[in-house]
Structure 1
Amino acid sequence: MSHWEMVYEKWRSFEQLDPALKQELDGMIDKKTLEDAFYTELTFGTGGMRGVLGPGTNRMNIYTVRKAVDGLANYLQAHAGDAGERGVAISYDSRYMSQEFALETAKVLGAHGIKAYVFETLHPTPLLSFAVRYLGTAAGVMITASHNPPEYNGFKVYNEDGGQITPDEASDIIGYIGETEDELLVPYLEQDKLEEQGWLNWIGLTVDYAYLEQLAGISKLDAAEQQKAKELQIVFTPLHGTAHDLVLKGLDQLTFNQVDVVEEQAVTDPEFSTVESPNPEEHQAFTMAIALGKQTHADVLIGTDPDADRLGVAAQDAAGEYAVLTGNQLGALMLDYILSHSDPVLLKNARMIKTIVTSELGRKIADANGVKTIDTLTGFKYIGEKIRQFDATDETFVFGYEESYGYLISDFVRDKDAVQAAVLACEMAYYWKKQGKTLFDALHLLYETYGYYLEDMSSLTLKGKEGSEKIAAIMARTRNEPLTEIGGLQVAYVEDYLAGERKAVHSDRTEPIGLPKENVVKYILADDSWVCLRPSGTEPKIKCYFGVREPDEQTGRQQLSKLKTDMENAISRADSV
């Protein structure tokens, strides 16, 4: 009997197995499906774990959650002596089992003598980050799978700073999780005992009010302008998630009163039944918002993902049609708006932070305003970690963003925040409307000033055990047999983030990258172009990112197409070996 079959038999014969999981397990007769559910344990990565719901050690369920919490609790007790009293803040989104997993987290923490502070209703991820800082808890847990398909859920861990845990913290927690031998036997307390003994505390509206007070402070409008009714027609969709109340309250604070909500998508729905994917990165998610925008003649459309840490924005393009801005484009517009409306004296030690797969246009805008740009690995946890370092220096955070629609305007939150971004995007649209321009008009002003920076991304989905092995093989071949030309452009440097070094292709010169090690390879090409290949940290995908800078849009799109074709062929060759 194989190892996975032994684990399966242990679950199948466990008399106290959750009835719903037992029923589902009894219906699983396909051997390949069973093997995938039990052949390994659900990976706890650099921020937590995320996976398909269902029975098995490689699935999200109450037992895998309990095991993760058990490890987290042991970690906190070893590294934070006052963790029991300070406690852990817990929030959850609109997905299947989110509220149940939040309560399971509190149950295991209570068995360890650690208080849990749980939101009474679903709340966005940025509110969890804020709650950790506001309540002074030792850690935070967010139950969410962000914009993954409905069958997924996840468990994200935050440190005492309100940021996603760092790789070193994650490594320590993983070690403690590994010491929990049997996920089926993790100790926990029932809810009535938790409440009776003071281990379970419900978070009321105090945290919301404190957040909204801070949110009002991100505005670049003067006090009189803030209180004046704004002539800006807005359409908002929360895509069946958590952002509805806070975005509307945030806009109301700045007297944006002309807001129409896509009511069908204001309903919390774990199936996300009105969209193919609840991801504002995918333009189909704006279909209903665009229809409503045409009816109301909206100036700007805003959409948040289910846990409200990502924002998409659409506006009218040159043809008068609603088009969705890319994350790179919206980030550049926000950065330009913030810096152009800031006192230059206050920007002396200011820092803008972006990831290595984010457009270089942001760097050019920052340079023009005397602001230094700091690059991080992909993932907002690295941006949050860098902000924390600023607490001990004289550096000032002014903006952070990543191409995947994540933005942070003010560091009272230490993760990407779609509520902040939604409010600022509307304020920015209002500013440009007063100049007689749309957001796309403003974007082309940036292109005319700095050059046409265009980006794109492609991905290959490879599910299951076989898929994971293929992704590993593709990355290994890319690393061991690096390309020397892509899309007709010579490769100048190869950055191997796993090795931590940057190599010049036409010489023996190497230099350290100076960032944490990660399974990423980036090609630096001629003419400010680049290509970056990395496995997704949250989905069974390998992703390839592209960036070019050209004198005009048509040339830029042609060069992007060449880069994509060459890289897709290279990945296909590596996959076939």
Structure 2
Amino acid sequence: MTWQATYKKWNDYQSLDKDLKQQLVGMANSDKELEDAFYKELTFGTGGMRGILGPGTNRLNIYTIRKAVEGLANYLEANVNDCYSRGVAVAYDCRYMSKEFAVETAKVLGAHGIKTYVFESLRPTPVLSFAVRYLHAAAGIMITASHNPPEYNGFKVYNEDGGQLPLQEAAEVIAKVQKVGNELTVPVKEQQEVEQDDLLTWVGEKVDQAYLRQLKTISKLDLAEIKQKDPLKIVFTPLHGTSHDMVLNGLQQLGFNDIHVVAEQAEPDPEFSTVASPNPEEHQAFTMAIEQGKERNADILIGADPDADRLGVAVQDGDGSYQVLTGNQLGTLMLDFVLSHSTPEQITNGRLIKTIVTTEMGRAIAAHYGVETIDTLTGFKFIGEKIKQFESTKEHFLFGYEESYGYLIGDFVRDKDAVQAAMIACEMASYWKAKGKTLLEAINQLYEQHGYFFEDMTSITLKGKDGAEKIGEIMTNVRENPFTEIGGLKVEQIEDYQIQERTLLESGNKEEINLPVENVVKYLLENNSWVCLRPSGTEPKIKCYYGVSSNYRKQSKTMLENLKQEMEHRISVIVE
């Protein structure tokens, strides 16, 4: 169907939701706006879907949610034993329409006779992952758009292991979703009916308490070490999201009591009104926390994104100011802390799991402790999938992380977990404080020991249909006109994950890459440096990652800047 025909189908539908109908009326005179809303169906990808709220097949609304749930229900009926009684766990964050979408999920599943466990109020994403395992549910759904702008929401699907769907399962669910006919006429039961029929159960405190009990198990310090002579001073911001209660309860049960919450950012707010972006990757998100950290002379500032799967940290830099650690720095520090506080028995056959765009410093530190590193594609679902595989091998999980502020310590959750990360970050800061060091001094000590591994990333936003086409042009150009040198560094290997092939430039030999297909190109350069280009799977962005290493800080900084300048210039030429 043309977008005009699809728009007409919606506009003529007599039972269309009143709010969506009113928005359609407001769009009636803008062909560009209507085309973008109806020219395609909102992509249900390997992690679910994320999109702008509003009417249309390319928007997130009750009808596109119903279609996604209908496809998932059909998949569960065909593939998961006892899915009707085991049910589906559903959680949601603070965004517009989040709770409404959770209820719509229960209404569609109820029409299939599948039970739904819905949290009575907002919860972090990692608690949803935990709940799937704790309730022995057949699947899980998280309604969230993570740190996207306020106009977005999303729908993430988890399997019975509590991890995001691996590629094969995702492909099967996507196929079921695509087979659903008219999204406007998906059968639903009313909320009152599913509640009366015991097909909708509201859950909360019991799951929370079970999660908090598990949280204690990742602790690496005893109470006496935490309650030292000069206890750690913490400033915490939930950035208007879901992490407030869990992080406070988790820290307090470990023995941390000097915690100041940024009051202006403590309450859930779908507009995220005090920040330009509720993303701890972006330093502006810490502006208020830094102000209050200075007032209180805090040792560490911690901030979680709205659905509490990413954690950022800022620490004192010695002159009363605060520096936000990069995701790679924080992950490296936590990895070293976890491994240095693990017994030889715990480390034996233990594994670090990281993504292909995460710092290589992690590999160096893991090797120092005799731990093997496993690389995955970008996305925590691949880390969760590896943890599941360990159940049938002699390997066991020690730590997982990605450069975009995602970390996991305890495998009772199978997705990145900002609550766990907050616990370990504060224990780590307390440990180093007792030794008279800040976390900045600790990371510098690791640089001196293992080498100056520096990383950065360029992110270009290209929205809409035109933007998607431009991102495609960039990837095509890079493949058809490959670099032989970048920033003065010779290219030694080119990895193209779309064809699962590694090319060794000097010999011309080719090797198979034993990872799933993905639209990613990575250049491996001399001196253990690298550049990687990948379109985002969840946002209208193309990202270029850079990594360098040397024995000297100044040398690594220069190498990194040269890589960035050359890649940004080439991308800008293509975009223009």
Instruction: Flag whether TM exceeds 0.5 (same fold).
Output: yes
What pairs up with 1:439-478 in 2 under 5 angstroms? 439-478=439-478
Per the alignment, in what secondary structure is the counterpart of residue 84 of structure 1? Answer: helix
Instruction: Name the TM-score, length of structure 1 as normaliser.
Output: 0.98
What amino acid maps onto 2:4 in structure 1?
Answer: E
**Contact 2:226–2:256 (Cα < 8 Å) also in 1:** no
Counterpart residue number, 2:137: 137
**Contact 1:230–1:257 (Cα < 8 Å) also in 2:** no
What amino acid maps onto 1:15 in structure 2?
Answer: Q
Q: CA deviation at 1:230?
A: 6.8
Per the alignment, in what secondary structure is the counterpart of residue 323 of structure 1? Answer: strand
Counterpart residue number, 2:412: 412
Q: Deviations over 1:94-121 (max 9, x none)?
A: 0000000011011100001100000001
Q: Deviations over 1:235-271 (max 9, x none)?
A: 0000000000000000000110000000010011000
Q: CA deviation at 1:561?
A: 1.1
Q: CA deviation at 1:558?
A: 1.5
What amino acid maps onto 1:332 in structure 2?
Answer: T
Alpha-carbon distance in structure 1 between the residues aligned to 2:91 and 2:345: 39
Per the alignment, in what secondary structure is the counterpart of residue 527 of structure 2? Answer: helix
What amino acid maps onto 1:14 in structure 2?
Answer: Y
Counterpart residue number, 1:120: 120
Counterpart residue number, 1:529: 529
Counterpart residue number, 1:513: 513
**Contact 1:462–1:470 (Cα < 8 Å) also in 2:** yes
Counterpart residue number, 1:15: 14
What pairs up with 1:191-206 in 2 under 5 angstroms? 191-206=191-206
Counterpart residue number, 1:72: 72
Q: Deviations over 1:52-91 (max 9, x none)?
A: 0000000000000000000000000000131111000000
What pairs up with 1:184-195 in 2 under 5 angstroms? 184-195=184-195
What pairs up with 1:266-415 in 2 under 5 angstroms? 266-415=266-415
Unaligned runs of 5+ in 2: none
Counterpart residue number, 2:430: 430
Alpha-carbon distance in structure 2 between the residues aligned to 1:398 and 1:204: 29
**Contact 2:294–2:321 (Cα < 8 Å) also in 1:** no
Counterpart residue number, 2:482: 482
Counterpart residue number, 1:244: 244
Q: CA deviation at 1:508?
A: 1.8
**Contact 1:229–1:257 (Cα < 8 Å) also in 2:** no
Asked if 1:574 corresponds to 2:574, the answer is yes
**Contact 2:95–2:150 (Cα < 8 Å) also in 1:** yes
- Report the RMSD for the aligned CA atoms in angstroms: 1.1
Q: Deviations over 1:171-223 (max 9, x none)?
A: 10111111111000000011100001111001130000000000011111136
Q: Please identify runs of 4+ aligned residues in structure 1 that moved more than 6 A.
A: 227-230
**Contact 1:229–1:255 (Cα < 8 Å) also in 2:** no
Per the alignment, in what secondary structure is the counterpart of residue 477 of structure 1? Answer: helix
Alpha-carbon distance in structure 2 between the residues aligned to 1:49 and 1:230: 47
What amino acid maps onto 1:84 in structure 2?
Answer: Y
Counterpart residue number, 1:156: 156
Q: Deviations over 1:325-349 (max 9, x none)?
A: 0000000000000001111232110
**Contact 2:94–2:268 (Cα < 8 Å) also in 1:** yes
Alpha-carbon distance in structure 2 between the residues aligned to 1:444 and 1:435: 15
Per the alignment, in what secondary structure is the counterpart of residue 531 of structure 2? Answer: strand
What pairs up with 1:81-100 in 2 under 5 angstroms? 81-100=81-100
Q: CA deviation at 1:385?
A: 0.3
Per the alignment, in what secondary structure is the counterpart of residue 236 of structure 2? Answer: strand
Q: CA deviation at 1:391?
A: 0.7
Asked if 1:216 corresponds to 2:216, the answer is yes
Alpha-carbon distance in structure 2 between the residues aligned to 1:442 and 1:324: 14
What amino acid maps onto 2:10 in structure 1?
Answer: W
**Contact 2:294–2:320 (Cα < 8 Å) also in 1:** no
Tell me which moved more, 555-564 or 286-295. 555-564
Alpha-carbon distance in structure 1 between the residues aligned to 2:316 and 2:556: 21
Alpha-carbon distance in structure 1 between the residues aligned to 2:193 and 2:363: 54
Alpha-carbon distance in structure 2 between the residues aligned to 1:323 and 1:204: 36
Q: CA deviation at 1:513?
A: 1.1
**Contact 1:164–1:381 (Cα < 8 Å) also in 2:** yes
Alpha-carbon distance in structure 2 between the residues aligned to 1:310 and 1:33: 33
Alpha-carbon distance in structure 1 between the residues aligned to 2:21 and 2:554: 57
Alpha-carbon distance in structure 2 between the residues aligned to 1:37 and 1:446: 50
Aligned residues: 575
**Contact 1:157–1:164 (Cα < 8 Å) also in 2:** yes
Q: CA deviation at 1:225?
A: 4.0
Counterpart residue number, 1:169: 169
Instruction: Name the TM-score, length of structure 2 as normaliser.
Output: 0.99
Alpha-carbon distance in structure 2 between the residues aligned to 1:24 and 1:229: 60
**Contact 1:230–1:430 (Cα < 8 Å) also in 2:** no
What amino acid maps onto 2:459 in structure 1?
Answer: S
Asked if 1:107 corresponds to 2:107, the answer is yes
Alpha-carbon distance in structure 2 between the residues aligned to 1:228 and 1:122: 35
**Contact 2:41–2:57 (Cα < 8 Å) also in 1:** yes
**Contact 1:229–1:256 (Cα < 8 Å) also in 2:** no
Alpha-carbon distance in structure 2 between the residues aligned to 1:345 and 1:86: 36
What amino acid maps onto 2:339 in structure 1?
Answer: L
Unaligned runs of 5+ in 1: none
Asked if 1:55 corresponds to 2:55, the answer is yes
Alpha-carbon distance in structure 2 between the residues aligned to 1:54 and 1:202: 27
Alpha-carbon distance in structure 1 between the residues aligned to 2:551 and 2:225: 38
What amino acid maps onto 1:238 in structure 2?
Answer: P
Alpha-carbon distance in structure 2 between the residues aligned to 1:460 and 1:198: 47
Q: CA deviation at 1:227?
A: 7.1
Q: Deviations over 1:469-489 (max 9, x none)?
A: 111111111112211110000
Q: CA deviation at 1:573?
A: 3.0
Of all paired residues, the percent bearing the same amino acid is 65
